Structure 1
């Protein structure tokens, strides 16, 4: 299946439905909740958080958050950093993660990005295989939380 998605701004009208999105319990150690993501975005405005609900039709299925075109500093990677990608447990395995990355890549390339960076918490069931299959490569760096850094070269895509 090729997922048909659209990225939607989060408003008072859809906030509760987006906050209700949850990964499988076994994945919770790898992906912070939407509510935690909102707190992070509010606490770290210098990270230039940009987030959207991901809809399939009228149904919210996922949440994505990036640092959007920030000036990199030791505590912030960038300029484009995939901070959060959360696909609700009910909708996993249907191509949404790939469709979300396709749309994010399209948007940030249009903004002039040449690279998308992310990190992951290692462990059984972590998202590393998904990111590697998409084309992210290890940089050899580890962030302050012990998460390996991956980069996706957008110049050849």
Structure 2
């Protein structure tokens, strides 16, 4: 499909801040990309990736490059710009990210989504993420992907 994950850099950070979700999704993805860029300057284990389809910037991902105290590597944010949604870019980007995280000797990947975000639920389930529990934690359903 031509999806690449490139580090957010001086060359593309501003273009990343222009990415946005649909109006209906703002309650699902309330923090704009600029928030994640700013937070990454203070949270040492956040890594940012710009999602490109060929040469077009189509999305943004935040993941942790170190495990938490339970050995889990988290993906705090995944978003595909509103004009590129529904084309499989989110799934392709997640496939690339999972491959990358696997190469980091990551065994467990955690991700959360709002209970009403059924598209995210379907995407994560299709990638093998299982619910950790039926309980909503901090407003999100938490999912786990165990890599072997």
TM class by shorter chain equals 0.7 to 0.9
- CA RMSD across the alignment: 1.8
Structure 2's unaligned 5+ residue stretches are none
Report if the CA contact (8 A) 1:136-1:150 is conserved: yes
- Find out whether 1:52 has 2:45 as its counterpart: no
Shift of 1:15: 1.5
Q: What SS does structure 1 have at the residue aligned with 2:76?
A: strand
Rounded Cα–Cα distance in structure 1 between residues aligned with 2:16 and 2:130: 30
The question of whether the paired residues in 1 share the 8 Å contact of 2:107 and 2:146 is answered with yes
Contact 1:18–1:34 (8 Å) recurs in 2:
yes
| Residue 117 (str. 1) matches residue 110 (str. 2) | yes
* TM-score, with length taken from structure 1: 0.83
Q: Given the alignment, which residue of 118, 134, 137 partners 2:127? A: 134
Residue 53 of structure 1 and its aligned partner are, at CA, apart by: 0.5
Partners of 2:19 and 2:81 within 8 A in 1: yes
Which segment is superposed worse, 125-134 or 100-109?
Answer: 125-134
How many pairs were matched up? 146
Moved more, 99-108 or 27-36: 27-36
1:126/1:37 Cα in 2 relative to 1: closer, same or farther (>3 Å)? farther
Partner of residue 21, structure 1: 19
Q: How does 1:35-50 map to 2 (within 5 A)?
A: 35-45=34-44, 48-50=45-47
* 3-state SS in 2 of match to 1:12: coil
Gaps of 5+ in 1: none
Note if contact 1:81-1:118 (Cα within 8 Å) is conserved in structure 2: yes
Cα distance per residue 1:81-121 (max 9 Å; x no partner): 11110100111111111111111111111111112110112
Deviation at 1:125, TM superposition (A): 4.9
Spell out, residue by residue over 1:123-155, the C-alpha distance to the aligned partner (whole angstroms, 9 max, x if none). Answer: 255622221222211011643x23221001222
Please point out which of 60, 76, 95 is paired with 1:83: 76
Partner in structure 2 of residue 66 of structure 1 = 63
Q: Is the 8 A contact 2:110 2:144 kept in 1?
A: yes
| Cα 1:60/1:16, change in 2 over 3 Å | same
Question: Which residue of 2 is the match for residue 98 of structure 1?
Answer: 91
